[in-house]
Structure 1
């Protein structure tokens, strides 16, 4: 995840890629939407040829789908895919937590405390009813989870985790998921368990954190429908909203 990167030496193509990718992840380009090249070329300030390269790159990340000769569209979403992505995130992050908690030093601990401080401030804003800055909130959320696993010692794992997190985040933003104080409490507990180097306890909290997010999204989002009645206890359908 690199939602707010340093763009000092960014090319036109890099800028278009970053902006389109951000709009896909944060739901500004909606699932199934046709991506008209002429319109997008004007909106993102890039040539048709560069735009094609960008969209093909995003196809490889699972965020865009190529329709053969008919062009491109935003990748669809489904409850089944969200559950698969969530399981992959838990598998990766849980493994990385074990490695990171064993190897982390005092600087690692300080980074976790700092990242949690920023996230907690954003969560207090959300709990007070201020919901306008979703990108900053989720940037802080990612930075906290990234801090937990930062000492895992593997760039391959960190890159894989970032890619999976972005696909997970796309579902969160489409479903407008904020579970309120429960999520904030889980983040506090993860911070404390990291400082105690309790990887087993942290992985239990992480399981709840991810599983309950998926359940909440399936229950409350008009975009997502459970695969079967067993996937999530059915509730009356209502318009998706943050809770």
Structure 2
């Protein structure tokens, strides 16, 4: 028998759906978020939608336009670079702590996360883009696994929020770097298993910078990028 879910559960589910649709590009940068349309799509009340959109506004994924309503936050080169720099700062610190404290269970989870990512990277390399969201989800899981033993839940949560914003840019640009990124992921795994945080940080810097430059060369950001001097 169907039992109606509590309003908190419905609201949280709708929040996750809308947030996911923004991150994965189904709701595009600058798109107007009309409450009447969202009410039908996400099967929730206008009052709940307002709460959700205000919550997403506080996260920087939605922009409130006063009396004119809401829209998906735009994208810019400067914002991408700032997000990438913050991600690197957080991930380097968490990575060093994780390498120091990780145990055999952490190693096993990391190897498992990399295996799933590597399998999906092979699918992407074949030209099949139907699994793009799973590819990026496994990418997210691998980088979270790298820092999972850092000992700070707040650091993990903050990194995850920043990573999601970085991910949105990759989805906007459909940024798949092929074998280069695949090799960097394998190198990160090897460095982690050898507890070599110095090497891992160097690889991570190349990995994130390479992702930024690749994203800037494709999609809507490529036309706004200033030529190098």
Q: TM-score category by the smaller chain?
A: over 0.9
1:19-168 alignment, distance < 5 Å: 19-168=17-166
Task: Provide the C-alpha distance between the structure 2 equivalents of 1:68 and 1:220, rounded to a whole number of angstroms.
Answer: 32
Shift of 1:15: 1.5
TM-score when scaled to structure 2? 0.94
Name structure 1 gaps, 5 residues minimum.
1-6, 232-243
Shift of 1:84: 0.3
Check whether the contact 1:78–1:225 (CA below 8 A) recurs between aligned residues: no
Cα gap change, 1:86 to 1:225, in 2 (>3 Å): farther
Shift of 1:10: 7.0
Shift of 1:227: 4.8
Shift of 1:221: 2.0
Shift of 1:134: 1.6
State the SS of the aligned residue for 2:19: helix
State the SS of the aligned residue for 1:147: helix
Task: Provide the C-alpha distance between the structure 1 equivalents of 2:109 and 2:171, rounded to a whole number of angstroms.
Answer: 26
Task: Provide the C-alpha distance between the structure 2 equivalents of 1:49 and 1:224, rounded to a whole number of angstroms.
Answer: 38
Task: Provide the C-alpha distance between the structure 2 equivalents of 1:89 and 1:96, rounded to a whole number of angstroms.
Answer: 10
Task: Provide the C-alpha distance between the structure 2 equivalents of 1:191 and 1:80, rounded to a whole number of angstroms.
Answer: 30
Shift of 1:223: 3.7
Shift of 1:20: 0.5
1:10-21 alignment, distance < 5 Å: 11-21=9-19
State the SS of the aligned residue for 2:217: helix
Give the number of the structure whose residues are more often helix, by fraction: 2
1:206 alignment partner in structure 2:
204
**Number of corresponding residues:** 225
Aligned: 1:230 with 2:228: yes
TM-score when scaled to structure 1? 0.89
RMSD over aligned Cα atoms: 1.7
Check whether the contact 1:77–1:224 (CA below 8 A) recurs between aligned residues: no
Check whether the contact 1:80–1:226 (CA below 8 A) recurs between aligned residues: no
